[in-house]
Structure 1
């Protein structure tokens, strides 16, 4: 009997547990609802998905919506509750997603079903109409409106046109945002934005204007895609809003715009360079009216292009060296200025010129072809021909600029002086006549002796600088002439020795001062860099030194100190060991 009672108790407990399981184990459900199923193309809707159990916020995949909708925001929320009925405790959990959607097109769209485990929601049909075609899109009847315009609407490849985007918003619209501008086949340069107030049909509105400079890369149709901007209407969050909704989200879209891009216009020996205006300016680093043989001077040419980037401005034609001068080109400087009207590009080129002969030095005119986008014709920006008057240097260089000697005019003058003296003493006695002739003959002999010796001296310096430089008592100009000769020969060893000797003289340093100390005194990064390349060529068999770049760096140092100490009785460079 006791055993029967035990079985009954066990049966009762099992039945009670089974009932509890039946009550607590129920299949979870998944449902989808929307706040509207008919809307305009510039309106939004809120999709609410509810699952009556607690799951991770990533349990539903919203990527299935992006084919027909822009997903503007996803706000997941979870909640839990507990109820007790007839002594039975029941726990309830819910996960809710609030998803703000904006339709991408008109017509019949569908929100697909979602699946979590075995639960599945039903799809929802949405009807989207073109509300923009039924009335004005101004802020008078819309909280957000957008307009897009271009100027001009037909351009050439690489020609600038301005894209202007105007957003008109009402005073109670917040959280304004939009998609990033991207144009296939076009370079984009933002020009900035401005905000101002205006009254539209009696409604006070705020206007945000964005401007861009666009440069099409090739001929054909360039399409500016539809631009989308969003905002929140009545954006203050309510303390009673448990799901964090901050008001209705509104959207505005612009219509796509097509710009016709014409092909480049061809011209022989001319790079394609479109601009609305081009200006060119030329300047010199020092007074060219006092130019001497062997004295470097730098010409700077500045090209300014309205409504064009500096990268499109073509380089100037190279000046070919001749027997009259040697030129050294510096690296160009490019810069772009952003203005409200567009881009102003600037290209600056500098060139050091060293005259090798006295007399008139003619620099030919420089023509820069460019395409005038306002007239639709080719034009030329011109740097006029310039004539420089070059005086002989202080050591009596001949017309070749490389060998010292007496000019023909000086020799003739000496001979004429002899003739004049001879005629003037014919009336004197023989003794006086012989004395005069003897003195003149001695003077002429001494003159030719000095000239021949100087000629041999400078010739030895140029041909064998390694062996004779330290033995010569040269001026700074003579030493500089040797530097130029060694650079022309592209002799790294001779160049280093000649440069060291010139800097010792210019800096008034001791004869045993090393080049590294001289460079440290100058504190010129460019010259130090080029000498380092020279040393790698000599001692490490590294990259070859560049004579033109080394000459440019040395010329810049020489120009700088000649400018700083112009008119001074001191050396052109500051002394290494000041007293």
Structure 2
């Protein structure tokens, strides 16, 4: 029994403390100020009689009107004349989100709740770029006080300090009728009046969208400067509780001018520090071939302009070239001087007829901010040379002319000998007969091939390896169509056509449409090219069943036609 006495005493003491806590529990809230500016802070203190080791007041009711900047907790316990009392205190630094009369609603902890409080928040407050008696101050600047509408102005926020401090991330400025692009932050050291300071810089690229006056409101930075050593504070012996500081800059005003009167009225307004226009071809423009695809990529780059402001480029429609415009790629690239915008246009050109075609000159005006005048970025006209047969049905090939008979070279006149009783063919006569026989055989084979082609039956190759090639090409086409792979399907159908009609010219999709003039085939080939060379988002939706079914139908119709026209196999091949 004596051994358990200390534990019983401790349990009784804890029970007494809990009873006292329950009996005396009360939640009280107070604020250090009732009037403040929108960019200032206030301190809300919540106290409770009793102990609260693992909980704190619910702060969710504050979220609509306040931001909690920081919070800390302290507790104390006292024993006077044998009576024990405990209390806990929370300190919350709050920043208002809007101006007007705001209410701090009741905050709850368990079954207890605070009474509501109200504060008056004004819209503006006087600037305070430097902390009192502390080497901590705030600066802002703009690189131009007067700019053209939609042109770039660089706004810099700079914070300098020479004492240990915790600085909160500054909020971005809120602007009307302007585009804001955040640039990279930098931190470095700087000597000021012989004292080493830390410097934090944040830069923004701002693009005013309307003429007139643009005002950048004051920037506010919340910081906490390390306090001095206080030996009497038991719970803060090293002075670790910082002193909250609010720094507030001056506002900045910029005059925004309208676009100059001498700028082309129908052109896109492009005020820039530098502007460039470049073109790249996937192959040489003078080596294009009918049915093949060539990609033209045009890139615009502008220093001091966002990419979204650069205009689109469209080539005119051409009768002898199919044009497939891809989706433009627009980007912004932060640099040390601001924003560099880019726009890349990519288009596929598929020639349908041979000949020469000229792409017209591309001429884009832009405003040189340095020289204050209109400049032009120019891509000169490009001459395209397309090789290959036209897509129309070619004329029937003419048979080769027979070689003229060989004749003996002239010789000097001489007295003819008397005729022999029997004449035998000489060597040149035998050679002439041999050449004539070869020409006759070639003509018969050509005539037979043309007759079979007219009936829809491909010539039967003497070598069975050629027939196997069509089956292999068909397997490749079947796999590509079943996988819904448009790029592989385009290559496979051209390979299958080359094996199907081996005596025809080099094949493209246009040639396949010519060899089998079916509107459904033309529509499917057009869809395939549009998927590959049109907008990129269509590539994932292409389905290959249509082309595969049509190819199978072509082969079936050819077999039926051959069976109807030739019920018995020919004796000779």
State TM-score, norm by structure 1.
0.58
What is the aligned residue count? 440
Q: 1:92 is matched with which residue: 81, 85, 95?
A: 85
The corresponding residue for 1:310 is: 307
Q: Is the 8 A contact 1:144 1:250 kept in 2?
A: no
Instruction: Give 1:375 shift.
Output: 4.5
| Contact 2:27/2:48 (<8 A) preserved | yes
Query: What is the distance in 2 between the residues matched to 1:486 and 1:252?
Result: 79
Deviation at 1:530, TM superposition (A): 6.8
Change (3 A) 1:66 1:297: closer
Q: Are the counterparts in 2 of residues 230 and 252 from structure 1 also a CA contact under 8 Å?
A: yes
- Residue 192 of structure 1 aligns with which residue? 184
Say which is worse superposed, 470-479 or 351-360, in terms of deviation: 470-479
1:405 shift after superposition: 3.8
Cα 1:267–1:534 change in 2 (3 A) is: farther
1:551 aligns with none
In the alignment, is the contact (CA less than 8 A) between 2:149 and 2:256 conserved in 1? yes
Match of 1:341 among 330, 337, 340: 337
Quick one: which of 384, 402, 408 aligns to 2:392? 402
Moved more, 157-166 or 36-45: 36-45
CA displacement at 1:406 relative to structure 2: 8.7
Distance in 1, Cα, partners of 2:183 & 2:76:
49
Matched, 1:224 2:216: yes
Residues 34-433 of structure 1 correspond to what in structure 2 (within 5 A)?
52=49, 57-58=56-57, 72-84=69-81, 90-100=83-93, 142-170=134-162, 172-185=163-176, 186-234=178-226, 240-242=233-235, 246-263=241-258, 267-322=264-319, 324-391=320-387, 393=388, 397=389, 401-405=391-395
1:3-23, Cα deviation, whole Å (9 max, x unpaired):
xxxxxxxxxxxxxxxxxx9xx
1:49–1:97 CA contact under 8 A, matched in 2: yes
Q: Which of the residues 478, 494, 498 maps onto 2:507?
A: 478
- Tell me the alpha carbon deviations over residues 278-331 of structure 1, each in whole angstroms, 9 at most, x when there is no partner: 111112212334334444322222211212222222211233021x33323233
Change (3 A) 1:236 1:326: farther
Q: Deviations over 1:29-79 (max 9, x none)?
A: 969696x99999999886766555568843899969979xx8643434343
Q: State whether residues 521 and 547 of structure 2, in contact with CA within 8 Å, keep that contact through their aligned partners in structure 1.
A: no
For 1:151 and 1:232, the matched residues in 2 are separated by 30
Name the SS of the counterpart of 1:58 in structure 2: coil
SS in 1 for 2:506: helix
CA distance in 2, matches of 1:101, 1:474: 85
Say if 1:45 and 1:102, in contact at 8 Å, map to a contact too. yes
- Partners of 1:362 and 1:270 lie apart in 2 by 24
User: Per-residue displacement from partner, 1:449-489 (whole Å, max 9, x unpaired)?
Assistant: 98x959x869999xxx9xx99863255723443246699x9
TM-superposed CA distance for 1:353, in Å, is 2.4
RMSD: 5.9
Confirm or deny: 8 A CA contact 1:486 1:495 kept in the other structure. Answer: no
- TM-score w.r.t. the length of structure 2 is 0.58
**Matched residue of 1:311: which SS?**
helix
Bigger fraction of residues in helix = 1
CA distance in 2, matches of 1:497, 1:460: 23
Segments of 5+ residues of structure 2 without an aligned counterpart are 1-18, 405-409, 411-428, 459-493, 530-535, 550-573
Q: CA deviation at 1:206?
A: 1.2
Task: Quote the Cα distance in structure 2 between the aligned partners of 1:160 and 1:110.
Answer: 38
Shift of residue 168, structure 1, vs aligned partner: 0.8
Q: 1:142 to 1:308 in 2, by over 3 A?
A: same
Flag structure 1 segments of 5+ consecutive residues without an equivalent: 1-20, 419-424, 426-431, 503-525, 540-579
Q: CA deviation at 1:192?
A: 0.9
Give secondary structure in 2 for the equivalent of 1:315. coil
Q: Flag the 1:216–1:97 CA change in 2: closer, same or farther, 3 A.
A: same
- Distance in 1 separating the partners of 2:269 and 2:278: 21
What is the CA–CA distance in structure 1 between the aligned matches of 2:245 and 2:28, rounded to whole Å? 28
Residue 542 of structure 2 aligns with which residue? 532
For 2:312 and 2:456, the matched residues in 1 are separated by 39
Q: Is the 8 A contact 1:151 1:163 kept in 2?
A: yes
Cα distance, 1:140–1:319 mapped onto 2, change above 3 Å: same
